[in-house]
Amino acid sequence: MGCRGRDSRSVLLRVVAMRNEQGQFLLVPDLRRCSPGRGAWLHPTTDCFDQALRRRAFGRALRVSAALDPNPVRDHLEAAKQGKPSE
């Protein structure tokens, strides 16, 4: 999505939009790849993620016009980069 490259689903990270308690939309990594609703697929790298943010691709792909908080996905990618186990 960010780099516009193609790859197999087993390599890509699925991201979904979810509302929090305050009604704001969060970008959340879907590690099981089974959350309901539309999902966006990207390479699990900070470079691909940053490109998608710069292009504002998440709102279009997920069909959400409200602002999206990307911090949960960024935190997941940073933890994976450092070798920490995912939740």
Residue 29 lies in a domain: yes
Q: What is the pLDDT of residues 43-55, one digit of tens each?
A: 999 999 999 999 9
Residue 8 lies in a domain: no
Indicate if the pLDDT at residue 85 is higher than 70: no
Residue 64 lies in a domain: yes
Structurally, the chain folds into a number of domains equal to: 1
In this prediction, residue 59 carries a pLDDT of 94
DSSP β-bridge partners for residue 39:
none
Residue 3 lies in a domain: no
Residue 87 lies in a domain: no
Residue 28: φ, ψ to 5°: -125, 130
Per-residue tokens: 2? 């960010």
| pTM, two decimal places | 0.88
